[in-house]
Structure 1
């Protein structure tokens, strides 16, 4: 593409842009440039991002200049493009008469080309933002009633002509706004965002149009691509690249040309897994079918959260509904199979019902809406029996776990024996080194890599200080970039005489079996001389503490994000306590040890102090209490009694800090004899709990009842008596079942930092800056 030198950001009636002179307009902030560019031997007038020439808007996309001559100029109160023959191939098509000398064009700092009169410099008579091509910029609109306010993809990556694929916003007869891609209904509007798309739109209630939000010091664009998918890119200053912050292509539910992979009564998740909704069972040939027939007056509704709403709903006429009122309307109609309360406009909610078989359903990680599905009452009772907090493991699963443990024990014993034999033979015959033996005997999955030291050395820029992203008690953490472009986090363990090669092998083998979406994932390891390196996935959004305790970044975590983070941490902790064999105690849960990945999904990290429990035991005595003051329970800090309920206490502190944006330890220091836990409890007790909530995340997703319920869960977790705290299984159920799950009123935590610090036993306090996963797992003696 050929582009040229610049004039200024304005064009008067006496000036012109000529293709042969390669002159352009440049916005005053030097970010946007408008001029002629070439593609496939054809010429177009376009507006591009000046730093990397990404084309954002094309004027004559369907009528290109075929020769090397073209000019942009004013003619009869219009901005026009003329070809070599003097024919007009594009125009702003303004009607009416006026004085030629009064008009001029200006390229604004947001990339908008506007035409205006000199005597009205703040107004305009035409703007390019009203005529989008394939890209939407902040300040541009999509209009449900105006087909011209749609994005049409390029035909190909080098052909700007309008393709047949388009993206728009539709206002459907059922009262639901949704993103529409070439007549396929995609993500629905919940009053704040479309599906799990980042909240880049805001609804203009007066005009029913959607404006792309402008974010301070940030430039984003939404593009409809020729591949049929839409993307959001954000410019990264300094690095000078567009970072893809959202990709529809990554959503497996939409990959098959927008056909979901799941059938009736089944839900598709973003990773393309399908699962049947409550009240139905999987058919042998695939798909789902109801277990029990519906009985109109006896049925109940099951709430599904973060859902895409089905098509072909019927909007119920009437004023703004409540959930109960909408449910009653659907319950009286035996043909009504599901309903939802939809916020079509701000503070205006309509009741929508569906009579057909639920199909094409999908769930989001964030966003979406509550969908209520009709199920037989007997199915709900079956669900309660099999999913309650006292759920027993299936006998088959127990047998499988036992057999797995026996096999694992046999493998470990065999590995130790082989290691000894090879080591003995190497002494006599000069065989492989101990490092080579260890690396060859680690039983690893295909996704795990035994990495070469040189690769890691180059990826971290020779372990340079500029790549250092953290420092913990077990060694520094470096950010690295592999040759394939993937980013990693490398923990370089300090050489410790207490940890030999066999222990390192055991450590890696164990951590590989801790796999959960809310736990940081180990990708590989390396042993090189005295260097022992653990390689983890790199999480771009840093730690939870870098948001909730930072006034500038705190508003980036709205209530919906915080609520999902609290649930995610609980699910990760529940996995460690209940679904690993033997169970694992984290022992140092705090905001700096919770990392945030893409879409702000929380991942528990830093297993450097983790401890394995004997299977079947609930608590153990430790020689030394380790952890971070402010997060350690009193029975652990004072008496060295560690249990799953100690982790629950730490989780409760983290939850209350997420709600308040304040550190418990700092509050205790500033208010001797008091604690953040007791302060929140007093406010909750006297009915003013919302007053202690961090005001920086009050937004459209803020739900007062949900906030107060979360506060109650947090206070239940920090009870002074460990037996009064809920288990992690119960916490997960409390979040999943919402108001249907009863929570006993918590008593005063009575937490005293000074009392907890007065332990007669040795206590090891960790550095709160540690933010990367490390596994140092050892077995404890059961009480």
Structure 2
């Protein structure tokens, strides 16, 4: 019996050792975390708590970091008191206080309970938010926590962590930098909510403000534009009990954090899973204009101008000599003192970062008109503005004495009404009126000169064209040859002699051959007075014919846009039909995105530039050109790239023009490229601008992924690229679509937006797809996007997507009369 008792005691002891050595998310007073042994890991596996050394291996700290990477330690317990060896133990006392003990059982660090209540069943738990919380039993309400690390931030602001004040307890939560990258002790810099005047977010160096993000205007800090991110939501709370800001992640599988580094820079990082590293998304302060009071009082800073500082209207430099020496610290002073009566007025300035609000007064319910009246009544009031910009504006902000730390922001900025003496305001308005008159005269003179210049250019162009037409065979004989083939339309293009083109291409030498498409071979040539050209020569065996040739000549001659290839002329002679284009040195897009070596050239910025350029070219074709043009064969090989990798849409052989009120059309002769054709066109022969939108969406997905839509293979399914992208989207794994060569240089929110737009463009129903004007706006703005619906053609077989639509009683005849011509 005694042997059994000893055995039971032994196994109980062994079990207790195992419990303290395995990774748990909680500890109780009977458990501990030892250096070199156990650790806490949050239930979802995002965060880990344990011992670490940032620099000197003999200096040990208890910290929390992401399990995916130890590069960013988000919280340190004993940042001011490192352990000198590896014998540290973290325990939870019976009264709910966490204590860190050294080798002699001395307390190195302990938590401070925010409540006087004695817990019945204290538990310390590492949550999936990265918060280390001490609670009583299973009470998971944050307001009932006995203590939490989120109340004592170090240098990192995590999602759902509050930055600011609790007026009830007097607790201030603020970020403080490490002393250095190897020393987590509190450094010189901090990020706080400054409660003087109207609360605002500031970066401090010691007790001095280094940079000011500004007060909350209902959308973001009024002094800084926060880029809209579909994965982030920013909030600011200001009431009788609290004043704090925080941000939340809408997708918990994505990791974000904000870090105040030892040099005083606030940086936002995002975890890039495929590269297994943190990417820097934003930095504050980002330029000199974000340095607090760089330009002194009553001046503005504009980083895009030189000099970057300028006095407000009605003010002049206080120290002109220093100002000319690029020392703006003394700021500006009024040219005319305020009269402090009803004669004073206000000058409205737009697009500004509002001044420092530490000496401001505010009212949340007052209208802007009431705000103006309140300012006029106080002789010390120098400016006013709306407190909240949402819904047309509400609330009132008043400034007193000098206006400090103003910046020109442009469109995201706010309106500020600056007080001026009546005489000064009248002088300013009169000067502005005269300046407007001068500008009007300048515009009239400039327009006249422009008309004269254009007339001269047109005359020179006419003479040049006439000279070219007189080379070799006369224009009349060439036109006669062309007319005999049925070409009656006015081409409005220079016609080159065959001999000239043959000489330019070295008699169509194979050494000058650039490639070959459905039209025929393409040659590089050099024309005297013009330079490099590309010559498309219609092959006798071409799948395209004279109709496509005429179509391209007639349509593209009338189109001018920086994202459309420029047609210089044509050659129609001796049964030859050729198109002469500007030469594109980087050839076509498909030679880059589908080539493993060349695709490395296309970083993220080049790819989005190409996507947006194609979108603008299509928008011009659909809405802004003299003719409404539907391209009908938009694909990677028909996108040419110039010296700077700017895209130009080419090959208008299959294009169709629409009248002003025409929406769509139908054909029984379906010609295009499998993988790019829309469902309604490929199955029913119906095409519209939305057919081009579908092709554009396919192009976007191909540019982002580096994979072809048609012929795409994946070991886990039989979808094409569209189907694969849709599968990743609904499984919340869209980033897996991205080309590996793009991942290291791109911002996550921008990538997701482009994938989102691509999927909106390839939706099954044409009415669900956006038009190109909406697409261009989606790509360049930060507005919320609608949810995409299921795309068309999830596989390479059109029958899979169109079977439900085949309801015609004579479907056999319809298919017989339809000609599919793949290109």
Normalising by structure 1, we get a TM-score of 0.52
1: CA distance, partners of 2:162 / 2:107: 28
Shift of 1:493: 8.4
Deviations for 1:667-701, whole angstroms, at most 9, x for unmatched residues?
Answer: xxxxxxxxxxxxxxxxxxxxxxxxxxxxxxxxxxx
Match of 2:386, SS? Answer: strand
> Would you say 1:197 and 2:212 are equivalent positions?
no
1: CA distance, partners of 2:569 / 2:581: 11
The verdict on how the C-alpha distance between 1:404 and 1:423 changes in structure 2, with shifts beyond 3 A counting, is farther
Unaligned stretches of 5+ residues in structure 2: 1-19, 228-232, 469-498, 515-523, 532-550, 553-562, 572-577, 594-600, 635-645, 665-687, 692-769, 779-823
Match of residue 178 from structure 1: 201
The verdict on how the C-alpha distance between 1:251 and 1:607 changes in structure 2, with shifts beyond 3 A counting, is farther
2:282 to 229, 240, 246: 246
The verdict on how the C-alpha distance between 1:537 and 1:209 changes in structure 2, with shifts beyond 3 A counting, is same
Match of residue 70 from structure 1: 88
2: CA distance, partners of 1:404 / 1:261: 44
CA contact (8 A) 2:215 2:357 kept: no
Match of residue 352 from structure 1: 398
> Would you say 1:115 and 2:151 are equivalent positions?
no
Shift of 1:62: 1.4
2:27 to 11, 17, 31: 11
2: CA distance, partners of 1:293 / 1:15: 74
Match of residue 139 from structure 1: 160
Aligned length: 515
Match of residue 165 from structure 1: 189
Match of residue 188 from structure 1: 215
Deviations for 1:237-269, whole angstroms, at most 9, x for unmatched residues?
Answer: 566544434321434422xx5453687443425
Match of residue 87 from structure 1: 106
The verdict on how the C-alpha distance between 1:62 and 1:317 changes in structure 2, with shifts beyond 3 A counting, is closer
2:73 to 55, 63, 85: 55
2: CA distance, partners of 1:13 / 1:73: 7
> Would you say 1:210 and 2:210 are equivalent positions?
no
1: CA distance, partners of 2:190 / 2:626: 51
CA contact (8 A) 1:306 1:370 kept: yes
The verdict on how the C-alpha distance between 1:543 and 1:89 changes in structure 2, with shifts beyond 3 A counting, is farther
Shift of 1:397: 6.8
1: CA distance, partners of 2:273 / 2:188: 34
CA contact (8 A) 1:492 1:532 kept: no
Shift of 1:270: 7.3
1:377 to 426, 437, 447: 426
> Would you say 1:234 and 2:270 are equivalent positions?
yes
Unaligned stretches of 5+ residues in structure 1: 444-472, 475-490, 509-524, 547-568, 578-582, 594-604, 612-623, 639-662, 667-764, 774-783
CA contact (8 A) 2:189 2:203 kept: no
2: CA distance, partners of 1:76 / 1:584: 78
Shift of 1:58: 0.9
Match of residue 586 from structure 2: 526
Deviations for 1:388-436, whole angstroms, at most 9, x for unmatched residues?
Answer: 999454689779989999999999999x99xx999979959x9x96989
The verdict on how the C-alpha distance between 1:363 and 1:402 changes in structure 2, with shifts beyond 3 A counting, is same
2: CA distance, partners of 1:88 / 1:348: 53
Shift of 1:15: 1.2
2: CA distance, partners of 1:323 / 1:344: 11
Match of 2:82, SS? Answer: coil
CA contact (8 A) 2:301 2:406 kept: yes
CA contact (8 A) 2:386 2:394 kept: no
Match of 1:250, SS? Answer: coil
Match of residue 302 from structure 1: 347
The verdict on how the C-alpha distance between 1:339 and 1:99 changes in structure 2, with shifts beyond 3 A counting, is closer
Shift of 1:107: 0.9
CA contact (8 A) 2:114 2:147 kept: no
2: CA distance, partners of 1:442 / 1:206: 74
Shift of 1:216: 2.4
1: CA distance, partners of 2:410 / 2:281: 15
Shift of 1:302: 2.9
The verdict on how the C-alpha distance between 1:147 and 1:280 changes in structure 2, with shifts beyond 3 A counting, is same
2: CA distance, partners of 1:390 / 1:27: 66
The verdict on how the C-alpha distance between 1:51 and 1:295 changes in structure 2, with shifts beyond 3 A counting, is closer
CA contact (8 A) 1:169 1:180 kept: no
Match of 2:267, SS? Answer: strand
1:37 to 23, 31, 52: 52
Normalising by structure 2, we get a TM-score of 0.50
2: CA distance, partners of 1:541 / 1:528: 12
Match of 2:395, SS? Answer: strand
Match of 2:365, SS? Answer: coil
2: CA distance, partners of 1:38 / 1:252: 35
Match of residue 384 from structure 2: 339
The verdict on how the C-alpha distance between 1:37 and 1:407 changes in structure 2, with shifts beyond 3 A counting, is farther
Match of residue 370 from structure 2: 325
2:124 to 95, 105, 113: 105
Deviations for 1:181-236, whole angstroms, at most 9, x for unmatched residues?
Answer: 33314322213321313562321424232141323214432221222111223345
Shift of 1:159: 2.4
Deviations for 1:69-110, whole angstroms, at most 9, x for unmatched residues?
Answer: 211112352211112232211111349998787211111121
2: CA distance, partners of 1:190 / 1:207: 20
